[in-house]
Amino acid sequence: MIVTNTETVAGYRIVEIKGLVQGNTVRAKHAGRDIAASFKNLVGGELKGYTELLTESRRQAVERMLGQAEQLGANAVVNVRFTTSAVTAGAAELYAYGTAVVLQPGRDG
């Protein structure tokens, strides 16, 4: 499955548009990560616990999006975007979406 944030894929042409696909996950902060983040805020630097949380959230949202694309019979998802939003205090949603398409080798377009 080809996944890209562009509207086209070099060397391929879109022969069918299957539709919008999406995947999301809602994650809550972990108390241990919050304590570590509080200390890190004093000295500065990367909040690795949160980086890991976002990385895992993005992976899961993309997997869910690709699952929808596969169910539609697509072999690619183009124009992929990510967004986040606060759901409640201490919890956030990561949302991935794009357009499921069928690609064939050939000229772009």
pLDDT tens-digit readout, 3-50: 999 999 999 999 999 999 999 999 886 555 555 555 555 566 777 777
Angle between helices 31-43 and 48-72 (to 10 degrees): 130
Residue pair 47/37 in contact by the 8 Å Cβ criterion: yes
Question: What CATH number has the domain bearing residue 65?
Answer: 3.30.110.70
Q: Which residues of 4-30 are buried (b: 16+ CB within 10 A; e: fewer)?
A: eeeeebeebebeeebeebebbbebeee
Domain carrying residue 99: 2-105
pLDDT digits (tens, 9 = 90+) for 39-91: 555 566 777 777 888 889 999 999 999 999 999 999 999 999 999 888 877 78
Q: How many domains does the structure of the chain reveal? A: 1
Q: Give the SS3 label for residue 98.
A: strand
